[in-house]
Amino acid sequence: MFELDLFDIQGNILRGYRSFHFARFLFFAIRESKFSHRVFRQFIGDLLKPPGVTPGQWQSPPTVTTNIAFTYRGLLALRLQAECLASFPPEFQEGMKRRFLQLGDTGPSDPRTGMNHGARTPSTFSCRVMRQTRRS
């Protein structure tokens, strides 16, 4: 038998977020790698300040959660090592916009019309903040 590394499992998979009924989705585009490194380190540092915990550490669900997701383009903009970037599956490297037909993203879900809401630069990472109550 093996032991799972709870810190390496995505929070919504590990714990489920049924108790979080309200959410905000923020989409960002990384334009300058040097600036992005500094801003992102500050952002992550703020998230991990006490009482910041990962779902692997939860004794009970917090009132607010924050999840960050990167696109392949976002990881590329942060200048991850080529070896690390090459370890991602081709489907992730291609991105959802290129694979919209295989994913069934048509109509209002078609990324050519709605995903970037008119933005000229595609999103490179997103942040999802979820709350249990409207004001927690």
127: CB partners within 8 A, 6+ apart = 25, 26, 28, 66, 67, 68
Mean pLDDT of 78-95: 91
20 lies in a domain? yes
> Tokens 């709605």 identify what position?
114
CA-CA-CA-CA torsion sign (40, 38, 77, 5):
negative
Q: Which domain holds residue 78?
A: 11-131
Number of domains in the chain: 1
Please state the separation of Cα 111 from the chain's center in Å. 17
Q: What is the pLDDT of residue 89?
A: 95
Q: Are 119 and 30 in contact (CB under 8 A)?
A: no
- Other C-beta atoms within 10 Å of 126: how many? 15
136 lies in a domain? no
13 - beta bridge partners? Answer: none
44 lies in a domain? yes
| 10 confidence band (pLDDT: 50, 70, 90) | confident
Mean pLDDT of 63-82: 84
What CA–CA distance (Å, rounded) separates 20 from 65? 8
125 lies in a domain? yes
Query: pLDDT tens for residues 124-136?
Result: 777 888 888 876 5
What CA–CA distance (Å, rounded) separates 50 from 25? 23
5 lies in a domain? no
What CA–CA distance (Å, rounded) separates 39 from 29? 12
114 lies in a domain? yes
80 lies in a domain? yes
| 69 confidence band (pLDDT: 50, 70, 90) | confident
